[in-house]
Amino acid sequence: MNNEPIKARLARFRPLHWAQDPVSAGFLRELKLNRDALEISLVLPFADSAIEDSLKTLDLELCQLSGARAVHWQIRIDVATLARANEAQGVAGVRNIIAVSSGKGGVGKSTTAVNLALALRRLGARVGILDADVYGPSIPLMLGASEARPESDDGQTMSPVEAHGIKANSIGFLVGADDAAIWRGPMASKALSQILRETRWGDLDYLVVDLPPGTGDIQLTMAQQVPTTGALVVTTPQNVALADAVKGISMFRKVGIPVLGVIENMSYHQCSACGHQEALFGEGGGLRVATEHQVPLLGQLPLDVNICRHMDSGTPTVDALPEGHIAKAYLDIAARVAAGLYFTGKTIPTSLYTRLV
């Protein structure tokens, strides 16, 4: 079979959130006609298994070009390790670290971090989440794991809690919430460093770190101490939150950490009875901040009672209603984040996890 027309068609396929097509990006591994089926295998260096649905839209055309009766796609995810943005020493086994921050408290940063982590897992990645929010470590509750505790069999390292298919550790597991909330910068960042490096994460493609809200010393020290690949800023559309989101972007830029984008939470309210959408906190703010500061607006989430209810019940929306429009919004954000990291980053060798005994 002459592969060239198929390759040429694939080379014209570029999902909106990819910076390159699969052929010029080097993702195409095999292309062959097996009896009357066209077999195409791709290896993606970032989590995006949902891309198969878009690829399938090419099936008819590819069958016509090749004479095949069906197309069999094989998509394997082998996440690349990308260069870290700072000098902090990497964590063996952890390929990429995504810091989730917000300039202001209560905007839904932890909700976003947890749903993002679950969405990355649904896109085919091995994922962990580290709750570094000293002011309100809420991840254990959100994952329905508040009774769980990381265990240690050697007194030096601990195994993370596993919930909803991801690994998790939290400052909340280790100290009382009231104790952590009064910590000053050095104590909080020391605790973060310890929990990051003493957890046996194993091999992870992405570790999502939920930072404490704000742009003060604690956040700055933490951002520098974690071997971060890129950061996200969560905001709501109110002017006060947006002003703080801008401070967040500046904070990361000051320490050389790329801002992967802004996520606008509680963007609008959709009436559950009639479907009418209302922008309770103003409109277009997230986009304005993103445009002015030259970062992508990665997505907008509605103010929706289900998001809150699912969190309180310990099963975040991405897992509670995986086919719903909210889960789809998080999956879309996760795909953009993963692709954005890869296409703007520089691949470096992966260091695999080995447990020292």
Cβ atoms of 18 and 343 closer than 8 Å: yes
Q: Is 303 in the site for ligand ATP (CB under 6 A)?
A: yes
Q: Is 307 in the site for ligand ATP (CB under 6 A)?
A: yes
Q: Is 111 in the site for ligand ATP (CB under 6 A)?
A: yes
Binding region for ligand ATP (CB under 6 A) out of 87-95, 131-139, 172-180, 240-248: 131-139
Cβ atoms of 316 and 210 closer than 8 Å: no
CB atoms inside a 10 Å sphere around CB 323: 6
Q: Is 315 in the site for ligand ATP (CB under 6 A)?
A: no
Q: Is 84 in the site for ligand ATP (CB under 6 A)?
A: no
Give 239's contacts (C-beta < 8 A, 6+ positions apart).
Answer: 282, 285
Cβ atoms of 241 and 249 closer than 8 Å: no
Residues annotated within the binding site are: 103-110
Q: Is 48 in the site for ligand ATP (CB under 6 A)?
A: no
- Output phi, psi for 124, to 5 deg: 105, 10
Q: Which of 106, 186, 216, 284 binds ligand ATP (CB under 6 A)?
A: 106
Neighbouring-strand partners of residue 269:
278, 303
Q: Which value, to the nearest 10 degrees, does the dihedral of the CA atoms of residues 40, 45, 48, 54 take?
A: -40
Q: Is 213 in the site for ligand ATP (CB under 6 A)?
A: yes
Residue type, 346: K
Q: Is 116 in the site for ligand ATP (CB under 6 A)?
A: no
Binding region for ligand ATP (CB under 6 A) out of 68-76, 239-247, 275-283, 299-307: 299-307
Q: Which of 45, 128, 136, 299 binds ligand ATP (CB under 6 A)?
A: 136
CA angle 148, 221, 286 (to 5 degrees): 85
The interface with ligand ATP within residues 235-264 (CB under 6 A) comprises none
Interface residue list for ligand ATP (CB under 6 A)? 102, 105-111, 133, 135-136, 138, 213, 265-266, 301, 303-304, 307-308, 311
